[in-house]
Structure 1
């Protein structure tokens, strides 16, 4: 199977390590992804989350674009409800001007936090965004980027000057329908809600309307991926993420995670989630990738390696690349 691979990076916060150390491990990982030929790397927007030090995607994109040669940098995603549409458009127009044809703008809806005080602070006291408001915000961002918003984003800037490619993040058929109506490529959150992936991809293709952004449907599927020399080693490396998913915290080392049990009532859920992702040897992961592509019709896979330590994470991405050779 031959398919393009990309990566999602949360700047994972690891136990007993500082924010500076987490960012440095992401630096090492991104540089290696660039060397390996990964197509793009995206950064998430999270606020007040113990597992992730990725707070402002645009800042990370600018930094890592300057440290790499060819890989595309993107947001996975910038969360529209937290920002004024014009501010998002200005940031990404600036990034695309600095790094032509290397910038992706993945737009999402979630708040990026479970802390309602942070939500209120980000939204300046505003209430959670409705479906209609989110749709209006996305449309406004696209209008500004297309040069039809009545605002010059940057002096001398033109919409086609190596512009940022807009994407919509989706975890349900409803968000897929919005992406399809706007004619945007879509990134499916299989690593969060795998049970929705097939229906979401089908709805997107059924309703897709060509636009200036895309002339055909394009589906990228985000998959949690842990690859090792044995299935047992992959399970050992994945256990810290399973524990963090049940009880949000900084990512434990595999040795620390081995000391933590998974409650009996949660074991079925953990096993079902793991089975829907891609964990195991190169051969095991090759089969899982092929199955996910067959089920969703994915044009591209975006791998999320929630693995402790940069060396282990990089090795995971190296082995994953072998799974699509």
Structure 2
């Protein structure tokens, strides 16, 4: 973080910030996508009761362990089964889609669930190159035209931003106030979000080494807009809480196996926990994953509170979004319950 940002740090408290949920709708070993959607809705309903602010689902493709590929549809499933929690995308990978289609889809969602829909946008494919080609039918878009795609998408919602498409309208979509967030794991979207005065969400759950530099870029480039008068940062982080640190460490081995299989380019459904990861990974793989997951918080309530408070004050985040890849659904719900109790009592 820049010296300027360090100088502007204030002491933050967990009880004073919003807490949200990132759900990859995991498909577990021996489970089905139908099971995943039932679990996703159950977790969302529990999150709503526990006071979580928003519930986001992520677009991934060709991933045997992730059921949220048709992200807009799953958002509708969750929004229909809840009543107050905000529901959105964390995110829609815009280069995979026509901006008009996304405007229509989210215009439909906002029309069905007024005042509850968020549109988080990323520029990565959310998959491998072959699958990206299958989605896009061309190799032209590598994310570099993301600013132009974003401008086009925003113009469908706000005719005042219209850019030469007077005869093309997003219906539903036009005139609706749907919050747009930019998501990132590096500096590109951070700078763009700042320049446009949009809220920014950073993926610290898989890119921890870029967290502070990206947040600094966002804040330094921020220009007030009709959307925001000052920067607004949400940071995603892996948090796995249990009644004991030993149990939390055991539960976390499912997440570690998931990342290990991605490193090996062999994605599989989310695996059950194991007693010892050293039986599965090499020293080299262990070092890679420890670096990639070094912002993850795993432990009992005391340890989670300590680490989460430190993370909040290091990032100066306005909101924290919790990701928890846990094999057992009841244990996953319990983790979010414990985190909620930590925040409310801190």
Same structural fold, with TM-score higher than 0.5 when normalized by the shorter chain: yes
Q: Which residue does 2:3 correspond to in 1?
A: none
Distance 2:337 2:184 in 1: 27
Q: How much has 1:193 moved relative to structure 2?
A: 0.3
Task: From 288, 313, 316, give the equivalent of 1:297.
Answer: 316
Task: Tell whether the 8 Å contact from 1:26 to 1:310 is kept in structure 2 after alignment.
Answer: no
Q: Residues 272, 119 of structure 1: CA spacing in aligned structure 2 closer, same or farther, 3 A cutoff?
A: closer
- Between stretches 36-45 and 244-253, larger displacement belongs to 244-253
Q: Which residue does 1:73 correspond to in 2?
A: 87
Distance 1:152 1:252 in 2: 45
2:140 paired with 1:140: no
Distance 2:207 2:180 in 1: 22
2:102 paired with 1:83: no
Task: Tell whether the 8 Å contact from 2:107 to 2:174 is kept in structure 1 after alignment.
Answer: no
Q: Which residue does 2:54 correspond to in 1?
A: 40
Task: Tell whether the 8 Å contact from 1:234 to 1:281 is kept in structure 2 after alignment.
Answer: yes
Q: Which residue does 1:129 correspond to in 2?
A: 142
Q: How much has 1:222 moved relative to structure 2?
A: 0.2
The CA deviation string for residues 185-242 of structure 1, in whole angstroms up to 9 with x for no partner, is 0110000100001011111011111222222110000001100112111110001111
Distance 2:336 2:259 in 1: 21
SS of residue paired to 1:303: strand
2:300 paired with 1:281: yes
Q: Which residue does 1:226 correspond to in 2?
A: 240
Matching of residues 150-169 of structure 1 within 5 Å: 150=166, 151-154=168-171, 159=175, 161=176, 163-169=177-183
Gapped runs of 5+ residues in structure 2?
Answer: 1-12, 262-266
Q: Which residue does 2:256 correspond to in 1?
A: 242
Aligned residue pair count: 320
Tell me the TM-score normalised to structure 1 length: 0.93
Tell me the TM-score normalised to structure 2 length: 0.88
The CA deviation string for residues 245-289 of structure 1, in whole angstroms up to 9 with x for no partner, is 011221111158869522122223333444412111111111121
Gapped runs of 5+ residues in structure 1?
Answer: none
Distance 2:231 2:63 in 1: 33
Q: Which residue does 2:130 correspond to in 1?
A: 117
- Between stretches 271-280 and 14-23, larger displacement belongs to 271-280
2:296 paired with 1:263: no
Task: Tell whether the 8 Å contact from 2:208 to 2:293 is kept in structure 1 after alignment.
Answer: no
Instruction: Quote the RMSD (CA, aligned, Å).
Output: 1.8
Q: How much has 1:125 moved relative to structure 2?
A: 2.2
- Between stretches 249-258 and 63-72, larger displacement belongs to 249-258
Structure 1 runs (4+) greater than 4 angstroms displaced: 255-260
Task: Tell whether the 8 Å contact from 1:228 to 1:316 is kept in structure 2 after alignment.
Answer: yes
Task: Tell whether the 8 Å contact from 1:31 to 1:68 is kept in structure 2 after alignment.
Answer: yes
SS of residue paired to 1:101: coil
Q: Residues 244, 207 of structure 1: CA spacing in aligned structure 2 closer, same or farther, 3 A cutoff?
A: same
